[in-house]
Chains A and B, each alone.
Chain A
Amino acid sequence: MTNRRQFLRTTAAGALALTPCFKAFAGASPEAGFPKRFVFIRKSNGERPLELALPSFSNRDRDMDARKEALEVDLDGHELPDYLKGLDAHKADMTILQGLSCMMSENGHFSYSSVMGCYKSNRNSLSGIKRATIDFELAKLFPSPFGHVELSLTGNYNAFRTGIVSGYSASGPQQRNYCYADPQTAYNELFKCVTNPEAVDSDNAMLSFLEGDENFKARILEGYEKLKLSNHVDSLESIRRRNKQLAGISGDIAKHLPTIGKIHADGGLNASTPEKWEAMTEVLIAALVTGLTNVVTYTIDELSTPVRGLPGNETDRISIHGLGHNEGYSGVSADKIRENIRIGHMQQVARIVERLKAQPEGKGTMFDNTMILYFPEGGETHHGHGTEAPFVILSGANCRLDIAGRYIRLPYHGKEGHKTLGNWYTTLLNAHGNPIKHYGDLDLEMSRRKLEQTGAISRFMA
């Protein structure tokens, strides 16, 4: 068995040669069978814990939940909160996980990459990015042609961002990822080998020219200097290999190409927010089903995402930030609009679950090997302080955690037995082959109180 130190040494050596995203497609799958898949869906404006409480809680459970006392309830036989009702059919695969804290990440309005890396991002400064975020760590364990795909629907309050823009995940320390900011761009980039093979050809022509050129230069060099250029040549060659690999599976990709409405052309300036959600979900599903990636991070909104065309407020231009300050539109209260947004989000989650359940894989379906995590970027509310970060999780039968079908409230922040985001991510990593002792920064209040806080959440380990 690989021990922690060996593992760290192995990955450190790998990191010298290739960044995680590159290594991900360069390496072979570490284990036989089907890869595990992860979809991280980040939402803004906090997630208020009470809104996840089960309406059918017994009085005792309701009181315990309100008092933030540890609690575990089977979802079976319970009614889900209104906004989760779209997932009723998948209750057995669902976990409502309450009580995790995220004080070690940036809270308040924005968390940037910190909520997935368990560090303070210092207002998104590059030097604040301390480590690869959890999604990239998992992507390393389950390599794929793209390694990792990041999507986002964000904006400047009035208009959506479009194209390829800076992302929220990090492939390593000080390495901010990029993401596809509109469905059409994501479609164009991810499925290029099918939709635009000429572009791939011209990429290959360029790589081939460069390879020849660098080989020529390397001819006259010796020793370490020669090695530098051979590394360059090897890297060019690796990218060509990836392109070849993609071309090899282009038939499969073509079969699962998503359909994106014309309204999304040129960045989709007139597309409503629900239309953007739906199209992005289609791209996301296709990226998983085609095997282009096993890990997707999707920022479904942040405070600056314009909300337009939302059912109930079809003609308003809603500011999510305004909702955080309890501002309503067209007579609809902020709380109601917030709920409608979450309902829209859950429709997307349901769509992903259902489509993956319809996709055979081995003796089961693709969903069996998939985990979807929906969570707030900044804790428990609009100006979150991180004592709570509720997660809604959908996980398939082969998921390596024992959590499905339950409402779980962990001991509150600063109490014995409390678990942080770091514990949660450590659990994910340990369960999937990375034996790291603890992922992320420690919680300083837990440290001050001298409470144990490292390691996986052992009760979740299957």
Chain B
Amino acid sequence: MGRVGILSALAAMAVAAQPPFQVDPAAADLLENQCFSCHEEGTEKGDVRLDNLAGLPLDVRLDLMNRMQEQVYLEHMPPKDKKSQPTAEERKQLVAWLSRELGVHQASKLEGKLRMPAYGNYVDHAKLFSGEHAGLPGFTPDRRWLISEFIFNEKFNRLLRFRPTRDIGPKQANGRNARVPVSGDSRRNGVNLTNPFLLPTDSGVRYYDTTTLDGGHLLTMLTNAREASAYAIYLAERSRGRDFPAIHAILKTEWEHQALLAAREKFLGDFIGIVLRDLYGEEKDAALLPTFVPVTIERTGGGDNYKKAPFHAAELAREEMQLMYFTLEKFRDAAGDDEELLRLCERDWFHHGHDARKIAMRLTFLDGYLDEWRGRWETENYAKKNPLPRYKPLAESEMEIIRATILRHRQKGDTRLAVIGKCMADWKEQFRQERERAGVANEAQLGALVLELFREILEREPGDQEAVENLQLAKSYVGKLGNVAGVRKMFETLLVSSDFAYRSEFGAGEPDEHGRRMLAPRDAAFSISYALTDSSPDPELLKAAESGRLATRADYEREVKRLLAQRDKYHVIDEAVEQLGVQSFTNLPVRKLRFFREFFGYPNLMPIFKDDKRFGGAYKTVTAGLVSEADMLVEHILRNDRNVFEELLTTDEFFVFHSGDNEAMAAHSAKLREVYEEFRGVDPGKLTEKDFDARAEFLKAHGITRVGRANLQTFRKTIEGISARFDKGQRGAPPYVLHHYQGPTASDRAGQKMRYEQIVKCYDLDLHNWDYPVEQPAPMPHRAGILTHPAWLIAFARNTETDPIHRGKWIREKLLAGTIPDVPVTVDAVVPEDHTKTVRTRVAEKTGETYCWKCHEGMNPLGYAFEMYDDFGRFRTEEFLEHPDNIVKKGPDKGDPHVDLRDTFKTLPVLTTGTLAGTGDPQLDGEVENAIDLTRRLAKSERVRQSIIRHAFRFFMGRNEMLSDSKTLIDADQAYVRTDGSFDAVIVSLLTSDSFLYRKATDR
């Protein structure tokens, strides 16, 4: 019996309860001829044996068959070096059998994997661009697409009327930037939301339609929904129905009651003393008050080392301070001295009914700080800011109610707050009964609520059936829970429905001969808007959809071009960068920029933790600046919109310690020069108080504040630092001072001081000897494009050394449309330490074996070229062999920003040659001298251009390309070529392609 026979026999013995395991004859032949020689009993290469498949437990068999399916489909098996290879048809047959068998158990994983971003390149590049498939009708499957973290933020910002702004707009007449609304800010006050729709952190395209909502998303959304519903109700009340009018209509009576209660409470809170005296007369009122019990306060002296807390650390909450101030003022004239004044205050607070602890705390504070506080009253204009409340009775009808209620409830010994409390409880109960008599919200109100919530939350009208069902639900909620809780529950229900979490992209109308339908107009409006921004469609786009002007390719083109041309909307690019005090905004459509920052993946440097000592300075201060300046460079190239890919890959002009505003940076640098000229020839170390006094006005005018008499040393250091930068003959100097808070450090366009001057260390520049180019981007030596930007180099490096493997992998996959299989489970993917060898040597030794090299030859020769930079992106010709045994000279532990704090180690020369293979162009493929040579060649490659186009396709479509997208890709590529490298042209082409316009129901 042959091996196939055994396989079949075992198949027959498969457990009866399971569908029988079947091997069709064609597959059996292929297994016999192509697989068993390496994977049968006795050989079992890679610990894989295939001749006993049928005898394996089901789960083991399915797992193995899934691996087989993937290996055969992706052409990883049989190995390329094996002489006998299956034909394309045979491969198809084998995959078909595996799919069928796995399908019986619904266990096939390949289809799911092929939808994932990492598998995009497995669609044959040549087939996509050859034109042979250009006749296939392009479409995207009908789909729901889970919202992204960015869309989540914008949806909630819109819903909850959060309208963030920044000082980043165009310059105004006063020289300042205008304050403009921005999108992309998630720091909402007053509502605590958690974003469950976070995208993966890999480089490349992060936002795909493959993610499905799971329990984690849902749990978080339930909590968000509760928060948001409470906040929406607050908004409806605050705006008196301008926001959420239907909610307001239902809860109006409750709020009127609350407002009335609040007004009475406020009035009584301020003037209960007067009201009671008027009502009872002074004597009787006093007799009814509780017997005064003073609080006890321990007052101890401090010891010798005692340091009293300063005023700001001891002062109480603002409202407490105000209340104390009012009371002190009230009794100011009645008290003979402070002691008596405090006694009167205490008595008043006691009679009012304030918490004894609060009284004690106030007295403790006043005991320690009253004199100092009084001193501040004048300087801080305290009286004007805190005018004493002036007694003005409420309307007589209200006063009558108040007086009657007080008379009904006040008893001897009640504090004033107790009286207020009793009155409030009485009125609350009266109002509650009144509402109860009126009943819960009626059908019309609830119908309006359903409509409002659909429009606000789901941004659409309810269907007829939805309207009916949701009305029933709303009725049931308010019936069981009352108006407030019922409305909230209704709000929550719509927020956690899948319609909120998913974007809808379905075709509508009559299908064409290929079964495709054009995107429904409303879905199209959202799809176009989300392609370029994170926001819902603007009114113009919605109007186009509603009025039938989003029905043709030309309509799409008109709207896409309109949105691409918009420059009046500002977006925060990266909140993490902003949070570190560095500007991060754009007024380009944010997703255009985001494509490149995610494609290159340089923002991934942010979580990489690196050693200050190895950096030779304060590394953490420069991370956000690196990302921001890389963003600025990409934005600069996108604004020019010519030869975008080539420029991104080869430009030698970079932003380095620059805000992007040439005029402002020139002014900042000139200011330093004026300071330099003022002190030229003076020995900074000998500057005296007199020097400071003589130039006080000058220094102030130049922004050098908070130095001088009190801290002469800082003054000297500041002047010394500025002088050092010009003494060597530079025309300009980087605009920073040693102590950021004291001097004319430049501000970025968001108005924040630029505190990341040590960024220049990534460019091998010396802060004290750099002829600062005020106009940027400016040429930087040894650089060519984003791949040589320190941000990218750090993002693709390890904590303590470079990473040629991942740099090479990135180029292979992102620029050459190549594929690298996952690291096999059996591989220990760690490059061993050896402090006598360079990283390149160690990597080469580890990966040089045949088994490793078959994958690594696609990566390492590309990545090696970047060894001309260290893991901070510094250009180098020698590599430090960083190990304690190799230290040649210890660097200083501390120093000014320009000082290099690194230790010096023994070195070895770096080898920067590499090999470019895979462009398909013999003029370009071959040995490269270094990274600059490599990137310049890459920029000339058609395949690289097409690979970027493929990634752009994925970014804007949210899925991997199919052969039926061939025409879309070719058109986008040609649009780029035809327009001398316009990325806008690529976007227009993609968003007006069949792949974008047409949808089709599939059972994918």
Q: Which residue of A lies closest to B465 (CB)?
A: A216
Would you call A238 and B201 a contact (CB within 8 A)? Answer: no
What separation, in Å, do the CA atoms of A238 and B222 have in the docked complex?
Answer: 13
Q: Mark B444-483, 1 if CB is under 8 A from A, else 0.
A: 0000000000000000000000000100010011001100
Q: Mark A377-413, 1 if CB is under 8 A from B, else 0.
A: 0000000000000000000000000000000000000
Q: Which B residues, 826 to 867, have Cβ-Cβ distances below 8 Å to chain A?
A: 833, 835
Would you call A235 and B217 a contact (CB within 8 A)? Answer: yes
Q: Mark B294-317, 1 if CB is under 8 A from A, else 0.
A: 010111111101111110011011
Q: Which A residues, 231 to 262, have Cβ-Cβ distances below 8 Å to chain B?
A: 231-232, 234-236, 238-239
Query: How distant is A192 from chain B, measured CB to nearest CB, in Å?
Result: 12
Partner of A166, one of B146, B194, B320, B492: B194
Query: How distant is A117 from chain B, measured CB to nearest CB, in Å?
Result: 11
Would you call A202 and B480 a contact (CB within 8 A)? Answer: yes
Would you call B364 and A164 a contact (CB within 8 A)? Answer: no
User: A214-B497, A239-B222, A444-B799 are known contacts. Are A327 and B214 too (CB-CB below 8 A)?
Assistant: no
Would you call A231 and B313 a contact (CB within 8 A)? Answer: no
Q: Which of A234, A315, A325, A444 has the most CB of B within 10 A?
A: A315
List the B side residues contacting A448 at CB < 8 Å.
611, 613-614, 800, 882
Would you call B309 and A319 a contact (CB within 8 A)? Answer: yes
List the B side residues contacting A334 at CB < 8 Å.
307
Would you call A21 and B309 a contact (CB within 8 A)? Answer: no
What separation, in Å, do the CA atoms of A222 and B1001 have in the docked complex?
Answer: 8
Q: Which residue of B lies closest to A118 (CB)?
A: B609
Query: How distant is A148 from chain B, measured CB to nearest CB, in Å?
Result: 12
Would you call B219 and A127 a contact (CB within 8 A)? Answer: no
What separation, in Å, do the CA atoms of A315 and B214 have in the docked complex?
Answer: 50
Q: Does chain A have a CB within 8 A of B215?
A: yes
Would you call B308 and A327 a contact (CB within 8 A)? Answer: yes
Q: Mark B44-81, 1 if CB is under 8 A from A, else 0.
A: 00000000000000000000000000000000000000
Would you call B609 and A450 a contact (CB within 8 A)? Answer: no
Would you call B1001 and A127 a contact (CB within 8 A)? Answer: no
Would you call B799 and A315 a contact (CB within 8 A)? Answer: no
What separation, in Å, do the CA atoms of A273 and B124 have in the docked complex?
Answer: 66
What separation, in Å, do the CA atoms of A26 and B216 have in the docked complex?
Answer: 11
Would you call A236 and B1004 a contact (CB within 8 A)? Answer: no
List the A side residues contacting B477 at CB < 8 Å.
202, 205
Q: Which residue of A lies closest to B579 (CB)?
A: A125
Q: Does chain A have a CB within 8 A of B883?
A: yes
Q: Which B residues, 554 to 605, have Cβ-Cβ distances below 8 Å to chain A?
A: 574-576, 579-580, 603
Would you call B300 and A331 a contact (CB within 8 A)? Answer: yes
Q: Does chain B have a CB within 8 A of A358?
A: no
Would you call A317 and B361 a contact (CB within 8 A)? Answer: yes
Would you call A202 and B489 a contact (CB within 8 A)? Answer: yes
User: A18-B216, A206-B489, A231-B212 are known contacts. Are A213 and B469 too (CB-CB below 8 A)?
Assistant: yes
Q: Which residue of A lies closest to B213 (CB)?
A: A232
Query: How distant is B536 from chain A, measured CB to nearest CB, in Å?
Result: 21
What separation, in Å, do the CA atoms of A122 and B605 have in the docked complex?
Answer: 12
Q: Which A residues, 17 to 36, have Cβ-Cβ distances below 8 Å to chain B?
A: 17-23, 26
List the A side residues contacting B611 at CB < 8 Å.
444-445, 447-448
Query: How distant is A364 from chain B, measured CB to nearest CB, in Å?
Result: 34
Would you call A19 and B884 a contact (CB within 8 A)? Answer: no
Would you call A130 and B607 a contact (CB within 8 A)? Answer: yes
Partner of B1002, one of A20, A198, A223: A223
Query: How distant is A161 from chain B, measured CB to nearest CB, in Å?
Result: 10
Would you call B218 and A232 a contact (CB within 8 A)? Answer: yes
**Interface segment out of the listed B352-360, B518-526, B666-674:** B352-360
User: A18-B214, A317-B365, A444-B799 are known contacts. Are A450 and B884 too (CB-CB below 8 A)?
Assistant: yes
Q: Which of A123, A236, A308, A330 has the most CB of B within 10 A?
A: A330
Query: How distant is A436 from chain B, measured CB to nearest CB, in Å?
Result: 15
List the A side residues contacting B623 at CB < 8 Å.
122
What separation, in Å, do the CA atoms of A158 and B303 have in the docked complex?
Answer: 27
Q: Which residue of A lies closest to B195 (CB)?
A: A126
List the A side residues contacting B91 at CB < 8 Å.
none
Partner of B303, one of A127, A333, A441: A333
Would you call A308 and B357 a contact (CB within 8 A)? Answer: yes
What separation, in Å, do the CA atoms of A104 and B609 have in the docked complex?
Answer: 8
Q: Does chain A have a CB within 8 A of B806?
A: no
List the A side residues contacting B227 at CB < 8 Å.
164
Would you call B364 and A315 a contact (CB within 8 A)? Answer: yes
What separation, in Å, do the CA atoms of A229 and B364 have in the docked complex?
Answer: 62
List the A side residues contacting B716 at CB < 8 Å.
none
Partner of B297, one of A22, A203, A270, A315: A315
Q: Does chain A have a CB within 8 A of B239?
A: no
Would you call A210 and B214 a contact (CB within 8 A)? Answer: no
List the B side residues contacting A119 at CB < 8 Å.
607, 609
What separation, in Å, do the CA atoms of A227 and B1002 have in the docked complex?
Answer: 13
Q: Mark A302-332, 1 if CB is under 8 A from B, else 0.
A: 0000001100001111110110011111111
List the B side residues contacting A225 at CB < 8 Å.
141-144
Partner of A206, one of B142, B300, B317, B492: B492
Would you call B192 and A444 a contact (CB within 8 A)? Answer: no
Would you call B355 and A270 a contact (CB within 8 A)? Answer: yes
Q: Does chain A have a CB within 8 A of B498?
A: yes
Q: Does chain A have a CB within 8 A of B809?
A: no
What separation, in Å, do the CA atoms of A123 and B581 have in the docked complex?
Answer: 10
Would you call A444 and B610 a contact (CB within 8 A)? Answer: yes
Would you call A159 and B302 a contact (CB within 8 A)? Answer: no
Q: Which of A5, A209, A238 has the most CB of B within 10 A?
A: A209
Would you call A122 and B299 a contact (CB within 8 A)? Answer: no
Q: Which residue of B lies closest to A5 (CB)?
A: B825
Q: Does chain A have a CB within 8 A of B1003?
A: yes
Q: Which residue of A lies closest to B481 (CB)?
A: A202
Q: Which A residues, 168 to 189, have Cβ-Cβ distances below 8 Å to chain B?
A: 171, 173-176, 178
List the B side residues contacting A217 at CB < 8 Å.
498
Q: Which of A26, A171, A234, A235 has the most CB of B within 10 A?
A: A235
What separation, in Å, do the CA atoms of A179 and B396 have in the docked complex?
Answer: 48
List the A side residues contacting B307 at CB < 8 Å.
326-328, 333-334
Would you call B502 and A228 a contact (CB within 8 A)? Answer: yes
What separation, in Å, do the CA atoms of A315 and B299 have in the docked complex?
Answer: 10
What separation, in Å, do the CA atoms of A124 and B201 have in the docked complex?
Answer: 17
What separation, in Å, do the CA atoms of A321 and B312 have in the docked complex?
Answer: 11
Query: How distant is B728 from chain A, measured CB to nearest CB, in Å?
Result: 32
Q: Does chain B have a CB within 8 A of A165?
A: yes
Would you call A213 and B298 a contact (CB within 8 A)? Answer: no
Q: Which residue of A lies closest to B473 (CB)?
A: A209
What separation, in Å, do the CA atoms of A225 and B959 have in the docked complex?
Answer: 14
User: A17-B214, A332-B300 are known contacts. Are A270 and B358 too (CB-CB below 8 A)?
Assistant: yes
List the A side residues contacting B196 at CB < 8 Å.
19, 175
List the B side residues contacting A198 at CB < 8 Å.
480-481
Would you call B314 and A316 a contact (CB within 8 A)? Answer: yes
User: A122-B579, A174-B198, A175-B194 are known contacts. Are A18 and B215 too (CB-CB below 8 A)?
Assistant: yes
Q: Does chain A have a CB within 8 A of B496?
A: yes
What separation, in Å, do the CA atoms of A262 and B473 have in the docked complex?
Answer: 36
List the B side residues contacting A450 at CB < 8 Å.
833, 835, 883-884
Q: Does chain B have a CB within 8 A of A442?
A: yes
Partner of A122, one of B212, B220, B358, B607: B607
A and B contact pairs by CB, cutoff 8 A, 17 listed:
A23-B215, A123-B580, A171-B216, A203-B222, A223-B1003, A225-B144, A228-B498, A231-B213, A231-B214, A235-B214, A270-B357, A314-B298, A319-B309, A328-B309, A330-B298, A331-B300, A448-B613
Chain A positions within 8 Å of B, measured between CB atoms, are: 5, 16-23, 26, 104, 119-120, 122-128, 130, 158-159, 163-166, 171, 173-176, 178, 198, 201-203, 205-206, 209-210, 213-214, 217, 222-225, 227-229, 231-232, 234-236, 238-239, 270, 272, 308-309, 314-319, 321-322, 325-334, 441-442, 444-445, 447-450
Other than A17-B214, A158-B320, A308-B361, give 13 A-B pairs with Cβ distance below 8 A.
A19-B216, A22-B214, A22-B219, A122-B576, A122-B580, A158-B318, A159-B317, A232-B218, A316-B314, A319-B314, A329-B314, A333-B307, A449-B884
The 5 closest A-B CB pairs, nearest first, are: A19-B216, A322-B313, A444-B611, A158-B317, A327-B309
